[in-house]
Amino acid sequence: MCNGAGLHFVVLLSLIGIATAESSINHDYFKYNPMTEVSNWMAQIAKTHPDVVTIVEYGKTYEKRTISLLKIGVKSEAKKKAIWMDCGIHAREWIAPAFCQYFVKEILQAYKTDPKMQQMMTNMDFYVTPVLNIDGYIHSWTTDRLWRKNMSPGPYNCSCNGTDLNRNFDANWGTIGVSTDCCSNIYCGTQPVSEPEAQAVTYFVGSRIEDFLCFLTIHSYGQLLLLPYGHPNFTASNYDELMEVGNGAAEAIRKVHGMSYTVGTSPDVLYPNSGSSRDWARLKGIPFAYTFELRDNGTFGFKLPENQIQPTCEEAYSGALHIITYAHDKTFNSAVATVAAALWTVLSAAAVTGNNLM
């Protein structure tokens, strides 16, 4: 009798414990969250999922804020493969950090019940950076909603701040789709990887480059899945496979809410550029490197209304999972990829102006 009561007491305590752990994350995924809330959320996620989540600090921004990511996977001594995802390299693209938060929530939820996610988290670690350009993101909340770049000062005597981090990577740096005017929204910096935020990604990913199967970098807007390279004179060695997998992701996206995403290289479907993190990742050997340009098509642009956060995240999750699952199965199941005839539309490159740069 005493034992029975004691057991019930223990069960009750652990139920309270579970309820407390779950309810301590009262995070709203379907509004835009300022940086302090994103940071608090990261800490809560790590605290409530200590078995699979750790926070990794891997750099400092220009204004000396710590850049950190959530490493998510079954802890293991064995060497694992890895998936990279970063959001918020461009400050004003607020739907991107919202997506990273949603993505983390979804994979942690799926892990509890879905054998496929359990298998993937056993074989791979997910490295998710919810906000890469933290200084710029904060600036877009406090001062200038449409700020894009980081916050480092320009070269000597320049009257503007900020470098476009997605033109600063060591990938045909400075050759096309950039500006050397430090006031431009596509200012590429003084030299490749001059910016601390680009350095953080370059060193962290570069130091374990062999592990990474996917490099997914999340932007808005335009409803596009962009693949390497941004420079029109270079073609990825696995271009056909990148197109095929990208088209599969676009189809997965369409199935969720009927939204159409266009797949192709930057010069084919958007505009040519150089120095992007995606191109750097592919040049370094990461096979599946994609840029997601989330909703919308320009109606609201960077100021996507909050009532579109949920559907945008739902469809993009499906697209991202398609790419990740393909990369996983190709590596771990030696599954032969089904080759479907790739079908895509090549759109004329959009005009490059300061206001519609994605």
| Residues designated as active site | 293
Looking at the Cβ atoms of 72 and 289, the one nearer to Zn ion is: 289
CA distance 136 to 154: 14
How would you class 24 by CB atoms within 10 Å of its CB: exposed for 0-12, middle for 13-18, buried for 19 or more?
A: exposed
Alpha-carbon radius of gyration of the chain: 21
* Residue-wise DSSP of 184-196: STTB--SSTT-SH
161 binds, among ligand NAG, Zn ion, none (CB under 5 to 8 A by kind): ligand NAG
* Least separation in angstroms between CB 162 and Zn ion: 14
Helix axes 309-332, 95-113, angle to 10 degrees: 60
The residue type found at 164 is: D
Looking at the Cβ atoms of 123 and 277, the one nearer to Zn ion is: 277
Residues binding Zn ion (CB under 5 A) = 90, 93, 219, 358
Residues binding ligand NAG (CB under 6 A) = 153, 157, 159-161, 175-176, 223, 233, 260, 262, 297
Give the number of C-alpha atoms closer than 13 A to the C-alpha of residue 183, restricted to the C-beta side: 4
CA distance 150 to 132: 10
Contact 20, 304 (CB under 8 A): no
Looking at the Cβ atoms of 62 and 212, the one nearer to ligand NAG is: 62
90 binds, among Zn ion, ligand NAG, none (CB under 5 to 8 A by kind): Zn ion
* Least separation in angstroms between CB 91 and Zn ion: 9
* Least separation in angstroms between CB 322 and ligand NAG: 18
CA distance 285 to 209: 7
* Least separation in angstroms between CB 146 and ligand NAG: 14
Looking at the Cβ atoms of 167 and 219, the one nearer to Zn ion is: 219
